[in-house]
């Protein structure tokens, strides 16, 4: 039996008028299921194909609900954590899970890190689900004592010199500055 991606590939080839003899063998399984409104021109925008758990091909509406997709994937993550089989999912849910498993990056995306390390987006204009990696946040490293000591030396390893005078030294206020400051304080705190 063919996979959903093989069925969809053949359908896209038929949509473009470029079906090969191999594609025609796959399309021969779909064409008997097609109704008059199922035309190759509107494949993926108005109808799509799925493969059920018992390997039957069905024509369905394309998945357009992000909320349903997201809740299905959360359910799949829970099933995976519990060691429960995906065969308990509905056909609609099962095909979403199978589609996402084909898009998962091996070794990086797992069901246990769904929604924390990666997620999905839905391009509703093209009825296309994509997986996306979430940002890991800052790539800032922890500063160690050795790094601080090394920063106090020049390229040759010699200690950096310290300035002889403090650049931010304080100076006493002039009589005019003192008067302005007292007037400011009086205005601010003696409003009556």
Classify residue 95 as exposed, middle or buried by CB count within 10 Å of its CB (0-12, 13-18, 19+).
Answer: buried
- Do residue 100 and residue 40 come from a single domain? no
Query: Mean pLDDT, to the nearest integer, of 169-177?
Result: 84
The answer to whether 81 and 116 have CB atoms below 8 angstroms apart is no
- Domain span at residue 38? 1-62
33 in any annotated domain: yes
Provide the angle, in degrees to the nearest 10, between the axes of the packed helices 4-15 and 91-103: 80
What is the pLDDT at residue 162?
A: 65
Give the model confidence (pLDDT) of 85-137 as tens digits. Answer: 998 999 889 888 988 887 888 878 999 999 999 999 988 776 778 899 987 65
- In the structure, what pLDDT confidence band is assigned to residue 166 with cuts at 50, 70 and 90? low
In this structure, is residue 185 part of a structural domain?
Answer: no
Q: Which of 15-19, 72-76, 125-129 has the lowest mean pLDDT?
A: 125-129
Domain assignment of residue 154, yes or no: no
Task: Verify that 108 and 68 share a domain, yes or no.
Answer: yes
- Of all residues in the chain, the percent with pLDDT exceeding 90 is 39
The reported pLDDT for the residue numbered 87 is 87
Domain count, the chain: 2
Task: Decide which of 34, 62, 90 is a domain's last residue.
Answer: 62
Last residue of a domain, one of 98, 120, 136: 136
Decide if 16 is inside a domain.
yes
Domain end residue (candidates: 62, 92, 109)? 62
pTM > 0.85: no
116 and 81, same domain (yes or no): yes
Residue 113 or 153, more confident = 113
């Amino acid at each position: 039996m063919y996979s959903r991606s093989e069925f969809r590939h053949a359908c896209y080839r038929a949509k473009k008028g470029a079906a090969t003899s191999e594609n025609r063998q796959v399309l021969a399984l779909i064409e008997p299921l097609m109704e008059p409104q199922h035309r190759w021109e509107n494949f993926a925008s108005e109808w799509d194909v799925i493969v059920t758990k018992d390997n039957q091909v069905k024509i369905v509406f394309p998945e357009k609900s992000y909320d349903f997709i997201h809740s299905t994937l959360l359910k799949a993550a829970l099933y995976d954590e519990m060691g429960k089989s995906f065969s308990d999912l509905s056909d609609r849910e099962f095909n979403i899970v199978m589609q996402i498993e084909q898009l998962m990056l091996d070794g990086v995306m797992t069901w246990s890190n769904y929604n924390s390390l990666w997620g999905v987006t839905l391009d509703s204009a093209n009825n296309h689900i994509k997986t996306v990696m979430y940002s890991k946040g800052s790539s800032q490293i922890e500063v160690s004592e050795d790094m601080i000591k090394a920063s106090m030396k020049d390229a040759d390893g010699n200690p950096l010199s310290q300035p002889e005078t403090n650049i931010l030294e304080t100076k006493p206020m002039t009589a005019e500055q003192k008067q302005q400051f007292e007037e400011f304080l009086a205005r601010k705190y003696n409003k009556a």
